[in-house]
Amino acid sequence: MKIAYQGEPGAFSEAAARRVEPEAQLLPSKSFEEVFDRVAAEPATWGVLPFENSIGGSIHRNYDLLLSHELPIVGEVELPVVHHLLALPGATLAGLRRVYSHPQGLAQCERFLRTLTNVDIIATYDTAGSAKMVADAGLKDAAAIASARAGEVFGLASLAASVQDFDDNITRFLVIGRKPIRDAVPDKTSIVFSLPNEPGSLFKALSVFALRGIDLTKLESRPIPGRPWEYLFYVDLGVARDEVTCGRALTHLGEFAPMLRTLGTYASWKTQEGRTPDPFEVVS
């Protein structure tokens, strides 16, 4: 069993992949695109990608990639995220001139970063990759925002712990692949659809779920490439695709939605047993 994730060892995506299958062989990947490619070409059974953070919001690039590939969502993982300011042993806060991290990591620690003076904040491709860069280059005046485990992997010390703006900082990851995850019973469905630009069209679309008592756990709009000011709507439904009410709602929606696609039906994180290990075991 192989699971692809974006980033270096010590990335939060690595911890999320461990929650999917602790004994799986993990495949670090340079980009989100490479994760999709590895699952599509089948050197990896599943791919684990971040889609939403409770502080920083949605990772829009992955929504776009989900639409451009034919890989269904087969699961989700929620991960508590604890950020550390990591630097070479002996470095001090007063001596820092640069801080590196992924844009989401920087956004989640904005209030802490504002307390640093004369420090450049620099976005990179990965939290753990930032830690690796500081370690490999021997940057004594630089630090990275990443997990405690990234510090252990790359030999960095924590100058400050829990630097995220809010303690309740959670990232939601989706699992893509052609193979279902164990025997988890689906109770959630993700779809995407477009609508004609007509008065009341979104109200009409959402009513097909409201009239049948189907909970919408997320609603996200994204621009349609090449069609200015037209949008796709990504929706998470709190029901399995095979439920009669869901099937009828989607049939009804399909009568007036020019495009409708089911992205996956899967077990929500709240229904999975053993989903709440000590967060320090996950991120350190």
Residues annotated as catalytic (active site), given as ranges: 171, 173
CA atoms within 13 A on the CB side of 137: 14
The Cα–Cα gap between 48 and 58 comes to 15
DSSP letter for each residue of 2-41: EEEEESSTT-HHHHHHHHH-TTSEEEEESSHHHHHHHHHH
47 within 8 A of 177, measured Cβ to Cβ: yes
Tokens of 150: 């990234």
The Cα–Cα gap between 138 and 30 comes to 22
150 within 8 A of 86, measured Cβ to Cβ: yes
Helix or strand holding residue 101 (H, E): strand 98-101
182 within 8 A of 45, measured Cβ to Cβ: no
Please list the residues that pair with 189 across neighbouring strands: 237, 265
Helix axis angle for 12-20 and 127-137, nearest 10°, is 130
The Cα–Cα gap between 120 and 97 comes to 6
The angle at the Cα of 37, spanning 34 to 43, to the nearest 5 degrees, equals 105
